[in-house]
Amino acid sequence: MALKKKSTLYLHVDLLNFVFRLGVLFAIYGFIWGLIELAVMILSAGRSRSLGEIYTIRALKYIFLADVTFLFCLSDLDSSMVMVNEIIFAGIILLTYFIGKLQNNQVRTKMFNITAPGMSQGKDKFNMKIELGVIALSIIAFSLFWFFPQYASNPISNWFHESIINIEDTPIFGFVFKVIGFFFLITLFAKMVSAFNFLLSGQAFKKGVSNSYKEERNDDHFDDFTEIK
């Protein structure tokens, strides 16, 4: 009995460590992607993006994040967790993160509709069906990497993975992102509850957005600091 409890304790500690390191990975990936988007915006002279461009870029961002997360699970030699368990937990965390992003985008649209109800630009930047489609596509891609791991290793995802490791190993930047990973770990479970309540309540499948922004705005969503845009 004592051995079983000890083994369970080690499993829980290993899981927490795994989630923490995923939080660091997400934060650094968001930072790198933010720099890429900044460069693209400068090169395009600040031109306003169409809805198609926004979701094409977002789909690439999510799919490559899923790809890098899968590579992280494959290369995670410090963990004693079974790889299948790592893949499952990573998939759940990815889904939670994506739903948190969806909630953020929905909240921003609601806020824009409240502050500028006569303008349509805010609505044009958010589409619930496309948002859900991008999330589903990313999760499907993550799942398919298990069956076709050779496609997970490509020049772009390998570059992201190596860059994340290099930044994490840097003393100052690595420490900053590890602090962010710590907060990611603390808030993840609350966000998981919020994300699944969001799905179970059916809000993800409703058309449009309501005007209940003030009532729904709370701390159970991913903020910009956590993801480091």
The C-alpha torsion from 97 through 103 and 108 to 109, rounded to 10°, is 130
pTM for this model (two decimals): 0.76
Tens-binned pLDDT, residue by residue, of the chain (229 aa):
544 444 454 456 777 888 888 889 999 999 999 999 999 888 887 688 888 989 999 999 999 999 999 999 888 655 556 678 889 989 999 998 898 888 888 888 888 777 766 555 555 578 889 999 999 999 999 999 999 989 999 999 999 999 999 999 888 888 888 888 888 777 776 766 776 676 676 655 555 444 444 444 444 444 444 444 4
Sign of the dihedral defined by the CA atoms of residues 124, 59, 61, 180, in that order:
positive
